[in-house]
Amino acid sequence: MWRPSRKRAAVVLAAVGALTLAGCGTDYDDITVGTGKGWTAAYHDVRNSGTAPVTGSRKLGLSWQRPVGGPIAQPITLGPDGQLFVTTRLANCSIFSFQMATGRKRFCNALGPSAISSPSAVDWMSNVYIGDDSRVISFNYLGQPRWATPVAGTPVSVQFTGDGKLLTISQSGQVDVLSRQTGDRAVPSVQLLGEPDFLAHAGLGWPDAGQGLDDCATGGPHCPVANISPIDAASGRFYVTLWQPGRPAASLVALRYTGAKVAREWSAELLLGGSATSPALSADGGTVYVGDNNNRLIALDTVDGRTKWVHRLDWTPRGGISVSDDGLIIPSGEEGYLLALRDNGDSVETVWERKDLALRGPAAQTAGDTGYVTAAIGDGLNLVTFDTRTGTTIDSDVLPGAKGTTTGTSVGAKGEVVVATRIGEIFAFTPE
């Protein structure tokens, strides 16, 4: 049974003339986020570490591959039992779920055309949370709708908070913290571009859900918020790349979710040309790393936004930044080469570099000094397994027929590795 939430329905009717459905249940959040098994967010966890706690296999074999029928823009997420979730842009199917063992489709549901731009997040019960056109929506592991909540724009960042809520940020700058059980707002929404003045502009409506999304892939000025925000679960502080209209550069903005409200803490306008790199946090939460379109990787102090160091790359970083618990940093991109850096506090050093391996998507690190990345080899793409201590290639597996670039590298609870190409094909590898 499903019942309408009167409170949310009234808000939506007043704002957009629509009705939001909330899943039946109590306000008590009894569904835990989990312990990090699987790949529960776009870059594994709430700090966007791109690092899995499992010991990675050094010998993989292709288990299956399949097209989804449309393009893919975001990394694949994996539930604790290996259930895959991915979004695309098709008339009848916008979010797909597949079984890890066989690649068999578990469900697909229709959403709006902007859902392809939204990352997903998965909790311990394999409930999935995803952005859609002007709303956040949750499905259970069978694809049945749990709730939907209206927002302004399309959520391009979906994360879990330290107290088990859902933190979402739209490309137009609306920040919300929602109950994972009901979708109700836990605190008032925050508008990063400023609160709308409905008295001065009586006819002011919500922005179009797809406004500026085409600029998000490159961090352009028409997409105010282009990336997935990491959050420090202990302090509640999270970090947003924000390009204010008319400003010469984008900023990294620090905000804090206190449990009662979301408040701004500091802002550093230093992302030249914008950014299409999702920030990542160090394991101790003291440093946040972010790239910009001026080919720079930047480390900032999370307390006050002070720049600790700047490292110039030979390419423009894109996607995630893999940061291991011991501080090994592997920047990603759709060009450039595989490179590992070490943060020394107020300086950075190159640990190793592989200029012979051309990046075609974000890398992932695992326990056991093992990493994975998609690289261009010959006329196609290979999944390269490498030693994170030295950069040495351990294994290389062909992605049959794959072209272009990939959206991410996801590692499952049993050491499975899954990548998706932007043209819309999934490749799953299992340990041999």
Ordered structural domains, the chain, with CATH: 2-193+206-431 (2.130.10.10)
Instruction: Count the neighbouring beta carbons within 10 Å of the beta carbon of residue 135.
Output: 25
282-303, pLDDT tens digit by residue? 999 999 999 999 999 999 999 9
Q: How confident is the model at residue 194 (pLDDT cuts 50, 70, 90)?
A: confident
pLDDT at position 198: 55
Q: How confident is the model at residue 207 (pLDDT cuts 50, 70, 90)?
A: confident
pLDDT at position 34: 61
Which helix (H) or strand (E) segment holds residue 102: the answer is: none
Residue 130 pLDDT more than 90?
yes
Dihedral in degrees, nearest 10, Cα atoms 263, 269, 271, 276: 30
Q: How confident is the model at residue 347 (pLDDT cuts 50, 70, 90)?
A: very high
260-285, pLDDT tens digit by residue? 999 999 999 999 999 999 999 999 99
Quick one: CA dihedral 98, 102, 103, 104, positive or negative? negative
Kindly give, in sequence order, each residue whose CB lies less than 8 Å from that of residue 304, ignoring residues fewer than 6 positions away: 266
138-191, pLDDT tens digit by residue? 999 999 999 999 999 999 999 999 999 999 999 999 999 999 999 999 999 999
Q: How confident is the model at residue 208 (pLDDT cuts 50, 70, 90)?
A: confident
As a whole number of angstroms, the distance between CA 70 and CA 91 comes to: 10
Residue 9 pLDDT more than 50?
no
C-alpha R_g of the chain: 20
Quick one: CA dihedral 76, 79, 82, 85, positive or negative? negative
Chain-wide mean pLDDT for the chain? 91
Kindly give, in sequence order, each residue whose CB lies less than 8 Å from that of residue 353, ignoring residues fewer than 6 positions away: 337, 338, 339, 340, 391
As a whole number of angstroms, the distance between CA 73 and CA 88 comes to: 7
**Mean pLDDT, residues 399-409 taken together:** 96
Residue 236 pLDDT more than 70?
yes
